[in-house]
Amino acid sequence: MFSILVVDDEKLIRDLLRDYLAKNGFKVDTAVDGIDALAKYESNGYDLVITDLNMPELDGIGLLKQLKAVSPDISVIVITAYGTIESAIDVVKEGASDYVLKPFILEEVLIKIQKAFNIKTLSKENVALKTELNKTFNFKNIIGKSRKIKDLLSLIKKVSLVRSNILITGESGTGKEIVARAIHVNSGNKNGLFTAINCGAIPENLLESELFGYKKGAFTGAYKNKEGLFITASNGTIFLDEIGNMPMSLQVKILRALETREVQPIGSNEFLPFNARIIAATNSNLALAIDHGTFREDLYYRLNVIEIKLPPLRERSEDIPLLVRYFIEKKYKGINKLVKGVTPETMELLCIYDWKGNIRELENIIERCIVLSDTERIGAECLPAFVKNPKSRSLPKFDRNIKIQLLKDAAREFEHDYITYVLNHFDNDKKAVANVLGVSLASIYRRLEEETPQDKKK
Ligand SMILES: Nc1ncnc2c1ncn2[C@@H]1O[C@H](COP(=O)(O)OP(=O)(O)OP(=O)(O)O)[C@@H](O)[C@H]1O
Ligand SMILES: [Mg+2]
């Protein structure tokens, strides 16, 4: 269970946050000001501190600085009043994970906390070097018999023989990481480590120290020398995932490293040679990012010596039956031993759905079906409404009377009516509708509960 310390001199806010966060599954303590908070942090340690900015004695910024000095990894969220956006920027500069503007909505605080924890777990995962040693990722795990998959496998075989940089592109969930692992396992580097690092999920300074390492004393918290991934990966493979999200300043450094095959740890004068192979991946359009000035063209060419384009699942739907069988018989057979396959109707629905989340989405849905199924063959009733119901692709005509009113009232009324209309279409399955409309379940509820101008008149 994650632990949180809530720091505020106003009792009302303290209690409100404590009760709300405890209800959401966190272990919560409170402190009345910065001094009290530091004392409590020293004796208990917390995963996250959420603090007000203006407090007597030690204020929020002072507390943030002192916490970061003793524990550079701690996540701190600062609550600050509207109209003081400069102080919000200051706190982020001082290392706060995020800020919340007062008056705040509790849900917003919760979302920011969840975001901070997610980043933290990811960076911990990366810090612990995602070095699950060569998990058995070889061709056996890449399922498919379509022309596109056959071409892909033969390309993987070829590129495994050389050490050129590779760029893997494809929509989310198309298998970029498993292809990178397959190349690693089949290449001469297979005795080295495969190290994946998600360039989009870790804050910029942490990413830099992870990749290049640092010298003792290079910055606050650098208590001893640390080797970067480029060095620890040694004869292995470095997988730079979501390269499109790499900050510009780091792109320059990566480019330099790739050109010289040397890295310079932060705070050091030395350049260290490395021989790991680099595979980068992205689901964004780098050509567009170059046009927009957010990705360096020279780095693009340096990374993209060989490009492997992964096709979306909807372009190779002949592989769907094989994948379904693979997930049921191999990957998830332990969950529900009763399940042996799917009904023809279910298979047909799976084959015509357009799988925006690609294989990962298919895999998640099959896992969910296996859990839910009471029969040997998974029936269509186990499928989520948006897969089961091809109606989700197009709706019948949405007829309404239009009247002159304020734009904001019209928008609210439209949203309310539109959601009700789509819900109707999906047999009131709010989760499916949230999914289809691309909003959270909470915002479906909120919009339905909101009073429309019509209601007010009643
Ligand atoms: N051809 C395949 N055969 C079997 N399983 C696959 C195949 N391709 C992908 N998968 C599975 O689908 C899931 C998603 O794959 P992966 O994580 O490699 O995708 P990705 O392209 O890196 O996605 P993202 O862009 O979201 O990070 C994984 O569980 C992976 O094992
Ligand atoms: Mg991935």
Q: Tokens for 327, please give them.
A: 């997930």
The answer to whether residue 322 is domain-embedded is no
Tell which wins on pLDDT, 72 or 294. 294
56 and 26 housed in the same domain:
yes
Sequence-distant contacts of 246-250: CB under 8 A, at least 24 apart: 246/199, 246/200, 246/207, 247/204, 247/207, 248/294, 248/296, 249/204, 250/199, 250/204, 250/207, 250/208, 250/211
| Stretch (H or E) spanning 197 | strand 194-198
pLDDT in tens, 109-162: 888 888 887 765 555 544 434 333 333 345 778 999 899 999 999 899 888 888
- DSSP label at residue 389: -
The percentage of the chain sitting over the pLDDT mark of 70, rounded to a whole number, equals 90
Q: 10 Å Cβ neighbour count for 324?
A: 23
The answer to whether residue 326 is domain-embedded is no
Q: Taking 50 as the threshold, does the pLDDT of residue 197 lie above it?
A: yes
State which of 125, 166, 168, 178 you would mutate to test the pocket of ligand 1, scoring each by most atoms of that ligand within 8 A of its C-beta: 178
54 and 187 housed in the same domain:
no
Supply the angle between the helices 407-425 and 441-449 in degrees, to the nearest 10: 120
Q: Does any ligand 1 atom lie closer than 6 A to the CB of residue 178?
A: yes
| Cα(392) to centroid(ligand 1), Å | 25
Neighbours of ion ligand 2 (CB under 5 A): 177
13 and 101 housed in the same domain:
yes
The answer to whether residue 318 is domain-embedded is no
86 and 156 housed in the same domain:
no
Q: Tokens for 368, please give them.
A: 């969910």
Place of tokens 């603090």: 51
The residues near 137 (Cβ < 8 Å, ≥ 6 apart) are: 178, 181, 182, 184, 185
Q: Does any ligand 1 atom lie closer than 6 A to the CB of residue 360?
A: yes
| Stretch (H or E) spanning 50 | strand 48-52
64 and 194 housed in the same domain:
no
Q: Which residues of 162-184 are buried (b: 16+ CB within 10 A; e: fewer)?
A: ebebbbbbbbebbbbbbbbbbbb
The answer to whether residue 132 is domain-embedded is no
35 and 96 housed in the same domain:
yes
pLDDT of residue 362: 94
Q: Which SS3 state, helix, strand or coil, does residue 399 take?
A: coil
Q: Give the nearest ligand 1 atom to 241 CA.
A: 27
pLDDT of residue 33: 92
| Cα(142) to centroid(ligand 2), Å | 15
Q: Does any ligand 1 atom lie closer than 6 A to the CB of residue 174?
A: yes
Q: Does any ligand 1 atom lie closer than 6 A to the CB of residue 238?
A: no
Q: Does any ligand 1 atom lie closer than 6 A to the CB of residue 171?
A: no
Q: Give the nearest ligand 1 atom to 326 CA.
A: 4
Domain count, the chain: 4
pLDDT of residue 134: 35
**CATH number of 98's domain:** 3.40.50.2300
Residue from 370, 335, 254 nearest 302 by CA:
254
pLDDT in tens, 246-284: 999 899 999 999 999 999 999 999 999 998 899 999 998
Whether the pTM exceeds 0.75: the reply is: no
Q: Give the nearest ligand 1 atom to 172 CA.
A: 25
Q: How far is CA 336 from the centre of its chain?
A: 29
Q: Does any ligand 1 atom lie closer than 6 A to the CB of residue 363?
A: yes
**CATH number of 337's domain:** 1.10.8.60
The answer to whether residue 324 is domain-embedded is no
Q: 10 Å Cβ neighbour count for 416?
A: 19
Tell which wins on pLDDT, 359 or 455. 359
151 and 24 housed in the same domain:
no
Section 400-426 average pLDDT = 85
pLDDT of residue 322: 92
Closest C-alpha residue for ligand 1 atom 25: 172
117 and 143 housed in the same domain:
no
Q: Which domain holds residue 426?
A: 407-457
Least confident of 133-142, 228-237, 380-389, 437-446: 133-142
